[in-house]
Structure 1
């Protein structure tokens, strides 16, 4: 049997898969806390400066800084104010720089050596570097640890997302992918509540990082992705994982044997050696990557609440803020769907590389937004959104269709474009109707 048939026999979303997915999804809470850590630990309270000593010409020699708020943060500990204030933003930028590099490095690495070892190694070192952040003796150590935490966070975030889908049947990919994004948002809210309860920044960093220890211990028992094993030609190991899942689901599966047709395909060195370059070399992947990269983002700092921007339209009072929030809602929905859709469009052997374009795209758009006039970003976002919707018609429909495991399967006739798929389905239905009519005529003649 093929992999999808085997998963139906094992249980596409049985009790064991539910527990495994729950562990991976809840890990997003820990990752969200690490992503938002600098927002609270880097808070700058109100302060005043007093001149202590003056020279005869009146030029101050030294100043005494007094913080008027009782806040414990990296700003108050290392006096990151005035000329040193940029260091707070620098620490946040280092985290997201590590996030980008982690996606670029860990994604292809997991496609080569496996999802499980990359995920466990990344999570382990993120916890280690997270404790380095909490006990950093100086700002330099703190900043370096934030970069390393971001490096691991970006890598395991991608692997974690793919694992939540490769453990279950394809019909549950949309649900598990959406749960991953939703849980990350919930983690941000929970981190805000945690910051309210725990004020000292070192205690907050320690508490936020300690949950990673629990998730690492729970993740140690997770098996390797059966889809990845099968795509690499390791059908025997894939069968072992599937039998293990079946036993935990309460399904007695004794004679489970996967098709060996994927062995020769997975052993194609040309396909496996190119890695991320397949996004450019392969004609099908090149088109899909160009269309999917045509996304958009919306910076929350562009949302303004000034009443002078309010206007009346069709008798209803609208504001730029409400319109921006609706736009942000749609962007978030499209981004979530694009993540799930991308996993369905790309084969297992190169699935991680397909998500790299989002990181590069977000960085480019953020840079362009700072360089352009204030009205230009929204014009660019509007035009890119409209054109992206049109270009999406060039992509195939993936609903209720098998996922490709190898690059060779991308050329199968069932993976046409959306418009072509509708025409082909109508033609198929008409052909089936004609066959049924012919059969009815033959039955009447026979009778």
Structure 2
């Protein structure tokens, strides 16, 4: 039997898979706290400058000569500890960008690495070191150590986030991929909201960083019981090990499945270049089908990240309580995920049209903010439209994850997701600086978000639909699938031409 038949025998989403997916999904809460940490620990309170003869140590670079920075708001953050204001204010955005730069490198390194040596060892190693570097952030004696620790945390976060998502897909049957992918994104949104609540009750930034990072220890211990991906084992030719994992899943699901035997296919033999993670990145450039898909997906992911994180990181600068704003920008995502599950499984919408539509709606919401004056005090305000844009781009981002995993074969799925995530992190690196463009013009950030949403939505329509289509495990299967699709298209065109010819003959008799 093939893998999909094996999952039907084992149980596509049995009790054991539910527990395994729950561990991976809950880990997203920890990862969300690390991603949003700079929003609260880098908050800038109100301050004023006082003329003084002796400028205190540490403030020489923060203010003009002979002036002292005095904070008028009771707050403890890296800004108040290291006086990151005025000429030094860029360091807050720089720390956020370093985190996303780490995400970029992590995606590039960890994606192909997990395709080569396995999902489980890469995931556990990355999670272990992220916890270690997270504690370094909490005890950093200087800004420089803090900034380097954020880079290293981002490096680990980017790697394990990608592998974590792939594992939630590869532990279950294909019919549940949309649900597990949506649960992953939903848990990340819940993590943002919980981090806002955590920041409200824990104000000292070092204590907040410590508590937010400590949950990673629990998730690391829970993850030690997770098995290797049976789909990855099968794609690497390790059929016996894949059968062992599937039998273990079946046993824990209460379904022994004693006669479970996977078919041995030549495309899955070890040693084949196209089945190796190292060759995967090259195939994304060489393979004509994958090249077009990758180019389009890279731009879609870039725009999703730029708009998503740009709106979220700008929540701390919005009017009102910064803690409530952070929580709201997390909670507003939750309605997006039931919408995703509904639309992407409908034949008249599917993955492609749903993703493109949500991106265009996000751009439209950002466009409308340019015509609404700030602080109107009504329901229709810049903040409410920004929240609507966040909801729409969250839906598009979630679909992009699910859609991308279906567009790539198993042998290079992590490599494909890694390259797309790399492009995504470029958007994340730029995102902290987009809200600061408000100093040039109040509508400039939303103009950037608007154009990004519209252009990505239109470009996404170039991709093929994957709803109810077969999943490819190897490049040979992808080629076969594309040829069969092309053949079906030619048959349809031929029938249409024959029909037109018959109609013409009947009309001219």
Tell me the TM-score range normalised by the shorter chain. 0.7 to 0.9
TM-score, normalised by the number of residues in structure 1: 0.83
Partner SS, residue 100 of structure 2 = helix
Residue 430 (structure 1) aligns with: none
Contact 1:50/1:63 (8 A) holds in 2? yes
**Which aligned pairs between 1:117-266 and structure 2 lie closer than 5 A?**
117-262=121-266, 264-266=268-270
Which of 465, 471, 478 aligns to 1:410? It is 478
TM-score, normalised by the number of residues in structure 2: 0.74
Deviates more, 1:74-83 or 1:186-195: 74-83
Contact 1:305/1:321 (8 A) holds in 2? no
Q: Deviations over 1:191-215 (max 9, x none)?
A: 0000001111111001000000000
Contact 1:231/1:262 (8 A) holds in 2? no
Partner SS, residue 291 of structure 1 = helix
Residue 459 (structure 2) aligns with: 388
Query: Residue 260 and residue 417 in structure 1: after superposition, are their counterparts in 2 closer, same or farther (change >3 A)?
Result: closer
Which of 285, 308, 314 aligns to 1:280? It is 285
Partner SS, residue 12 of structure 1 = coil
1:42 equivalent to 2:36? Answer no
Partner SS, residue 69 of structure 2 = strand
Q: Deviations over 1:346-400 (max 9, x none)?
A: 11110012222244256269589779994863674365245325313xx1x4333
Q: Distance in 2 between matches of 1:18 and 1:415?
A: 36
Q: Distance in 1 between matches of 2:172 and 2:74?
A: 50
- What are structure 2's unaligned runs of at least 5 residues? 56-63, 315-365, 496-509
Deviation at 1:18, TM superposition (A): 0.1
Deviation at 1:332, TM superposition (A): 2.5
1:352 equivalent to 2:414? Answer yes
Aligned length: 414
Contact 1:21/1:164 (8 A) holds in 2? yes
Deviates more, 1:375-384 or 1:199-208: 375-384
Deviation at 1:417, TM superposition (A): 5.3
| RMSD after superposition | 3.3
Q: Deviations over 1:143-194 (max 9, x none)?
A: 1100000000000000000000000000000000011011101100000000
1:398 equivalent to 2:466? Answer yes
Q: Distance in 2 between matches of 1:20 and 1:169?
A: 14
The structure having more radius of gyration, on CA atoms, is: 1
Query: Residue 391 and residue 361 in structure 1: after superposition, are their counterparts in 2 closer, same or farther (change >3 A)?
Result: same
Q: Deviations over 1:204-239 (max 9, x none)?
A: 001000000000000001000000000000001111
Q: Distance in 2 between matches of 1:376 and 1:135?
A: 39
1:343 equivalent to 2:416? Answer no
Contact 2:274/2:280 (8 A) holds in 1? no
Deviation at 1:74, TM superposition (A): 1.2
Deviation at 1:61, TM superposition (A): 6.3
Residue 24 (structure 1) aligns with: 24
Q: Deviations over 1:277-316 (max 9, x none)?
A: 1111112211222332342343425684874499xxxxxx
Contact 2:123/2:164 (8 A) holds in 1? yes
Partner SS, residue 256 of structure 2 = coil
Query: Residue 348 and residue 14 in structure 1: after superposition, are their counterparts in 2 closer, same or farther (change >3 A)?
Result: same
Residue 291 (structure 1) aligns with: 296
Q: Distance in 1 between matches of 2:395 and 2:171?
A: 24
Q: Deviations over 1:383-430 (max 9, x none)?
A: 5245325313xx1x4333331111111112477559957976xx9xxx
Query: Residue 378 and residue 247 in structure 1: after superposition, are their counterparts in 2 closer, same or farther (change >3 A)?
Result: closer
Residue 448 (structure 2) aligns with: 377
Partner SS, residue 250 of structure 1 = coil
- What are structure 1's unaligned runs of at least 5 residues? 311-316, 428-447
Query: Residue 389 and residue 46 in structure 1: after superposition, are their counterparts in 2 closer, same or farther (change >3 A)?
Result: closer
Contact 1:279/1:285 (8 A) holds in 2? yes
Q: Distance in 2 between matches of 1:362 and 1:416?
A: 35
Deviation at 1:330, TM superposition (A): 3.3
Q: Distance in 1 between matches of 2:44 and 2:255?
A: 57
Query: Residue 251 and residue 384 in structure 1: after superposition, are their counterparts in 2 closer, same or farther (change >3 A)?
Result: same
Contact 1:49/1:65 (8 A) holds in 2? yes
